[in-house]
Structure 1
Amino acid sequence: MKVSSRSFTLGLVTAWYSSNIGVLLLNKYLLSNYGFRYPIFLTLCHMLACSLFSYIAINWFKLAPLQTLRSRLQFLKISALSLIFCLSVVAGNVSLRYLPVSFTQAVGATTPFFTALFACFMTSKKESWLTYLTLVPVVTGVIIATGGEPSFHLFGFIMCVGATAARALKSVLQGILLSSEAEKLNSMNLLMYMAPVAVIFLLVAALVMEENVVGITIALARDDVKILWYLIFNSALAYFVNLTNFLVTKHTSALTLQVLGNAKGAVAVVISILIFRNPVSVIGMLGYILTVIGVVLYSEAKKRSR
C-alpha cells in the first residue's frame, strides 16, 4: 500500500510539474514564436476551460465537495479576487511576448517579497527579522539577473513585475476577504466561481483592446488549423495546472507544494533555455540562483516562525 501511495503521489507531482511547465512554454511559443499576439484572448480561453472543467470535476466527478456561495457580499469578494487574478495572468502572458521564460521565472520568484510587503501594509502582519532578512537575496538576485539579462525588455519587465505583484496581492486579499470559516473555499471551488467572472472581465477587455480577435483567429485557423489545437490543448492544460495543484496539496501539504514550487522554477528555466535557445549570461544565472536560495531560506524562516 505504501509503495502504491508513493507512486500515486509521485505521479501527481510529475503531472503538476509537466502541466505547469508545459502551459508556460506553450504560452511563450504562441505569444512570441508562433506570433499569436493576443494575450487577453489567450487568457480568456484559459478561463473558459477552467469554468467548464471545474464544474464537471466538482459536480460530476466529485473531486472536491461542492461549497455553495452564502451571500451576495461573498460573491462580490470573489469577483474582486477574480479581477486581480485576471490582471496577473494577462500581465504574465504579455511579459512572455518580450522576455525569455528563464527571466520571467526569476522575477516570479520574488512573489514572497510582494506577499510580505502587502501583508505588512494591509493587515499589519509583521514577520520575524530573520524572515525579512531572507528577502534580501530574493530581491538582490533579481537585480543582478536584470543587469545580466541579454534579452532585457523594459515593458516586458514592468508587466512581469506587475503580474508577480498581482499574484501576491490576490493571495493576501484572499486571506482577508474570505477569512471567516463560513466563507472559506477550497481552491477548486474558488476557481469554479472565479473563472466565469473572469470570462466576463476578459471578454470586455478583449473586445476593446484586441479588436476583431475572434475573426483574426478564425482567419489564422483557415491557413493553419494547428492554431485551434494549440489553443484547445493550452486551455485544457491551464485547467490541469489548477487541478494537479489542488490534488498535490491534498495528498501532501501546502509546505511540500511550496518546496516543490521552488524547484519547479529552476526546472522550467533549464527546459526553456534548452527549447528556445535564448541567450543567458553567467551573471544572469548567478542572480537567479541567488533568488532561488533566498526563496528557500524564506520558506524555512516562515516554517520556523510558526
Structure 2
Amino acid sequence: MKPLLLRTVAAVFGPKLAPSVVTVGFIGVWYALNIGFNLLNKTIFKYFPFPYTVSTVHVIVGLIYCVLMYAIGLKGASFGRVITKEEFGKIFGPASMHAIGHVAANISFAAVAISLTHTVKTLEPAFNVVLSKLILGEGTPTGAVLSLVPIIMGVAMASAGELSFNWTGFLTAMASNLTFGFRAVWSKMAMTKALNSTSVYAYTTLVSVIICVPLALLAEGSQLAEGVRVAIAKVGAQRFYTDLVAVGMLYHLYNQFAFNTLQRVSPVSHGVCNVVKRIAIIFSSVLFFNQAMTQQALIGTCIAIFGTWLYTDQTSRAKHAKALPPKAA
C-alpha cells in the first residue's frame, strides 16, 4: 500500500518531494484524527460517564477493524502476519502498559477538562527520564533534565488555576504518564523489530482488549445497563451507538497514524510533533466546548508546553553531539 501511495504522490510532486509530502500528510491526518477523537470522546463522557467501558469500546472497535482488514486480504493494514509465541510475549508487556495508560487517561478525560489532562500529560518526559535511569541505567543530558523544571512548574500552575480541577482527574492523568513511561522503557528492552508499526499496533490493540474487557466489567459492569438506558434517553439510540463506533475508529486510526509517523521520522521529530499536537488539542477543545480558562491556567499550560519543547530540543542536541565523530587531538 505504501509503495503505491509513494508512486502516486511522486507522479504529482516528483520523486524527490514525494517522501516529505507523504510524511507531512501522515502528520496532518494524525492531528485531525486525534483532535476529532478528543472532542467526540469528551462529548460522550458528558452523557455517558463510564470511562472503563468507553476505553474498552475504543479497543474493541479497533480490533474489529484489524480483523476485517486481515480477513479481506489487506494484511498490511492490520496484523501483517501471525506472530510467534516469543514475539507475542515481547509485545505483551508494552501493550499492557498501553492499555492501562489508556484507561487511566480516559478516567481523567471524564473527570476534568481536556486541556488539564493534556497539560498534566506534558509531564510524561519526566517519567521517561526517571524510569530510563532506574530500569535501563540510561542517563539524560543535563539540559533535558533542567527543561523538566518549567514543565513541572507549568503543570502545577495550570492545575491550581483550572476551574474543573479534581484529584481523580489529576491523579489518573499522572498514572497514565507512569504507565506510558513504562511502555516506552519496556519497548526499548523487548520490542521486536521484525514487525512494522501497523502490525505492532494491531497486536497492541488485541492485548488491550484482553486487559480492558475484564477491567470494565469489574469496575462498571453492575451499573452499565442503567447507564446505557440513561444515555439513550438523553441522545437517542442511533446517536449513542454511532458515537461509540466513531470514537473507536478515531482512536484506532489516530494511533495507527502516530505509529506510522514514528516509523517515517526520528523519535525527536516525533516528539516535536507531539508537542504541536498537544497544543492543537488543548486550544481546539477550549474553543469547541467554550471552556473558560483562568489566566493562571493558560499561563501554566503555555509554560508546560514550552518546557516540553525545550526537553525535545535538548534531547535532539545531545543525540546529534553524540553522533558526531570525535575531534582529532
Q: What letter corresponds to residue 95 of structure 2 in structure 1?
A: S
1:148 to 156, 161, 165: 161
- Which consecutive unaligned segments of at least 5 residues does structure 1 have? none
- What corresponds to 1:44 in structure 2? 56
Q: What letter corresponds to residue 186 of structure 1 in structure 2?
A: N
1:230 to 243, 267, 278: 243
1:85–1:167 contact (8 Å) kept in structure 2: yes
- What corresponds to 2:139 in structure 1? 126
Q: What letter corresponds to residue 153 of structure 2 in structure 1?
A: T
- What corresponds to 1:199 in structure 2? 209
Looking at structure 1, the residues matched to 190 and 263 of structure 2 have their Cα atoms a distance apart, in angstroms, of 23
Q: SS state of the match for residue 208, structure 1?
A: helix
Q: SS state of the match for residue 221, structure 2?
A: coil
- What corresponds to 1:26 in structure 2? 40
Q: 1:128 to 1:252 in 2, by over 3 A?
A: closer
Taking structure 2 as the reference length, what is the TM-score of the superposition? 0.83
Looking at structure 2, the residues matched to 100 and 286 of structure 1 have their Cα atoms a distance apart, in angstroms, of 16
Q: What letter corresponds to residue 135 of structure 2 in structure 1?
A: M
Q: SS state of the match for residue 230, structure 1?
A: helix
Q: 1:249 to 1:176 in 2, by over 3 A?
A: closer
- What corresponds to 1:286 in structure 2? 299
- 1:24 offset after TM fit, Å? 1.3
- 1:206 offset after TM fit, Å? 1.8
Q: 1:3 to 1:245 in 2, by over 3 A?
A: same
Q: SS state of the match for residue 109, structure 1?
A: helix
Looking at structure 1, the residues matched to 21 and 28 of structure 2 have their Cα atoms a distance apart, in angstroms, of 10
Q: What letter corresponds to residue 70 of structure 1 in structure 2?
A: T
2:197–2:263 contact (8 Å) kept in structure 1: no
1:35-93 Cα shifts (integer Å, max 9, x gaps) = x1211111111111222323455673224783543334x42342232322121111111
2:109–2:117 contact (8 Å) kept in structure 1: yes
1:22–1:237 contact (8 Å) kept in structure 2: yes
Looking at structure 2, the residues matched to 246 and 106 of structure 1 have their Cα atoms a distance apart, in angstroms, of 22
- 1:100 offset after TM fit, Å? 0.5
1:137–1:290 contact (8 Å) kept in structure 2: yes
- 1:112 offset after TM fit, Å? 0.8
Q: 1:258 to 1:158 in 2, by over 3 A?
A: same
Looking at structure 2, the residues matched to 56 and 221 of structure 1 have their Cα atoms a distance apart, in angstroms, of 29
Q: 1:7 to 1:76 in 2, by over 3 A?
A: closer
Taking structure 1 as the reference length, what is the TM-score of the superposition? 0.89
1:220–1:227 contact (8 Å) kept in structure 2: no
- 1:234 offset after TM fit, Å? 0.5
Q: What letter corresponds to residue 45 of structure 1 in structure 2?
A: V
- What corresponds to 2:196 in structure 1? 186
Q: SS state of the match for residue 147, structure 2?
A: helix
- 1:212 offset after TM fit, Å? 4.5
Give aligned-pair identity as a percent. Answer: 22
- Which consecutive unaligned segments of at least 5 residues does structure 2 have? 1-9, 320-329
- What corresponds to 1:296 in structure 2? 309
What is the root-mean-square deviation of aligned Cα atoms in Å?
2.4
Q: SS state of the match for residue 280, structure 1?
A: coil
Q: Which moved more, 1:91-100 or 1:239-248?
A: 239-248
